[in-house]
Amino acid sequence: MSAHSVRTDDSAVSRADRFLFRVESAMALAGGLAILGAMLLSVANILGRKFFNWPVPGYVAIMSQIMPVMAFMGIAYCQRLGSHIRMDILVGKLRGRALWAAELAGILLMAVLTAALLYGSFDHALRALTLGDTTDDLGIPTWPVKMLVPVMFCFLLARFALHTWAYGLALREGGDDPVAVPMIEDAATQAMNEAETVSGLGDDADKGVAS
């Protein structure tokens, strides 16, 4: 799903959604820059090894530190847009309060699982800090990147909390078009929105979403 599927207005939940989305977008950008850095590092390593017999020193250690940044910086951003892989064969057939109740139940279940993952990842990062764990070759401390994981889970829980708020309002008010939550789109709508985003036309569309 693209950002076109999230309706906005002047309500408190929508303002909170837009504020959190700005933070999530910045984190997703950082994750994208990490992917770019990993790609450039890989190219340098390959070319250096092939033409100069001189690979990038500590390449494996550096990549091991970049990978969590690539993997976790965008999880809350993707949740806001509904971009995570999901099975909606059944949910996609629901409408109105039945749909919002199903979505709310799914959000609460994911929040419980995320809280468990947050606890485990924080304990793992704290153990790395306590033991002074470092990479084998360059001696890079591993706790900062390990601590990034529970921090990102905290932002994901914040997004779940906001979605719980929004779905709760949708349950109370009914209707088919609530604000601050990603709407299920069919394949044709997704393709159209993705084409608009790539072409730049989606920027104008986003300005008109609030209605």
Name the nearest CA neighbour of 1 among 97, 78, 112, 88: 78
Element (H, E) at 94: none
pLDDT score of 130 = 95
Hey, what are 65's tokens? 């530190």
Give one DSSP letter per residue of 27-82, joined into a string: HHHHHHHHHHHHHHHHHHHHHHHHHHS-PPTTHHHHHHHHHHHHHHTTHHHHHHHT
- Altogether, the residues listed in the chain come to a count of 211
pLDDT score of 5 = 79
pLDDT score of 201 = 54
Inform me whether the pLDDT recorded for 17 exceeds 60: yes
Where does the pLDDT of residue 31 fall: very low under 50, low under 70, confident under 90, or very high at 90 and above? very high
Longest C-alpha distance within the chain, in Å?
Answer: 67
pLDDT score of 198 = 66
Element (H, E) at 151: helix 143-173
This prediction has a pTM of 0.84
pLDDT score of 190 = 67
**83-131 pLDDT per residue, tens:** 887 777 788 788 889 999 999 999 999 999 999 999 999 999 999 999 9
Hey, what are 136's tokens? 């084998």
Q: For residues 183 and 209, give the distance between their C-alpha atoms in angstroms, rounded to a whole number.
A: 13
Where does the pLDDT of residue 211 fall: very low under 50, low under 70, confident under 90, or very high at 90 and above? very low
